[in-house]
Structure 1
């Protein structure tokens, strides 16, 4: 029996987002200490709802396996937040699928650019964004400084013009 993957919109507080919040908070606290709780509380839920924000879940047979969100950074820029893949579902391309869906939705919402930061203790996230065509706003050849975020950006209009628009 094959499983079905679907991408669906959700809102924080939806029971399906509970694994995302629980596991992402655990991941942040494990990697960065108590400040991980602060990061998860930094942005209120209403920042991740249309028209300026969005939260997506990748569901396998109705159960969340990955997710991510964006919020308004400025009038032309969406800020990517809350990227998550369940521990038992990693290395299967799920984060890349969520990222592509978020990029497409942000472009449809009128954003021209995506900005994000990831942590210096998240090399897998750094690799994902580099592989997905994001421009690092830091020197990738230098060892990242402890506790310094790693910023990235992507020009959504240029990606679409180059024929690299994400597939749904």
Structure 2
């Protein structure tokens, strides 16, 4: 897989973000309601990555500033046709590496109970429960995790 830095509003990013939002509609009944400004994913305070297989965009993820030295992971996604090949783990590792290289010390994220495969990925990668935050802080279905980088 080739991983490239792109803008949050790059056409390939928009395509995959639309796909992940549709996945949320299927799993939760609606898209992610968290407000996102594409500028939040621009260096140095953020970054957005796309993973390509044979030139086709198949996975994405990004991080944005959350608190001093803490960044929030958003829009982790792998297209259904290529799941089960380790692409999510590779993308997560690259997101962690780039966040650390940018001087951050911790990564946090929100996910939900309807995404058991995501929860398993994060927990097996060393993420543990953190205090709830953000748009879904009052949702019982929301799970908030973090990891020191």
8 A Cα contact 1:120 1:146, kept in partner: no
The structure whose residues are more often helix, as a share, is 1
The structure whose residues are more often strand, as a share, is 2
| TM-score under structure 1 length normalisation | 0.80
Residue number among 57, 68, 80 corresponding to 1:64 in the alignment: 57
8 A Cα contact 1:120 1:149, kept in partner: yes
Q: For the residues of structure 2 that align with 1:146 and 1:15, how far apart are their CA atoms?
A: 32
Residue number among 93, 100, 110 corresponding to 1:107 in the alignment: 100
Is structure 2 residue 130 aligned with structure 1 residue 137? yes
Q: For the residues of structure 1 that align with 2:139 and 2:74, how far apart are their CA atoms?
A: 20
Find runs of 4+ consecutive structure 1 residues off by over 2 angstroms.
145-148
Shift of 1:32: 1.2
Q: For the residues of structure 2 that align with 1:77 and 1:146, how far apart are their CA atoms?
A: 22
Which residue pairs with 1:154 in the alignment?
147
CA deviation string 1:6-39 (max 9, x = no partner): 11001122111133112101011111113x1524
Q: How well do the aligned residues superpose, as a CA RMSD in angstroms?
A: 1.7
CA deviation string 1:60-96 (max 9, x = no partner): 1221111100000011101001000001010100010
Which residue pairs with 1:124 in the alignment?
117
**Structure 1 SS opposite 2:12:** helix
Q: For the residues of structure 1 that align with 2:130 and 2:113, how far apart are their CA atoms?
A: 13
Structure 1: runs of 5 or more not aligned: 139-144, 157-168
Alignment of 1:19-38 (within 5 A): 19-34=15-30, 36=31, 38=33
| TM-score under structure 2 length normalisation | 0.90
Aligned pairs, number = 143
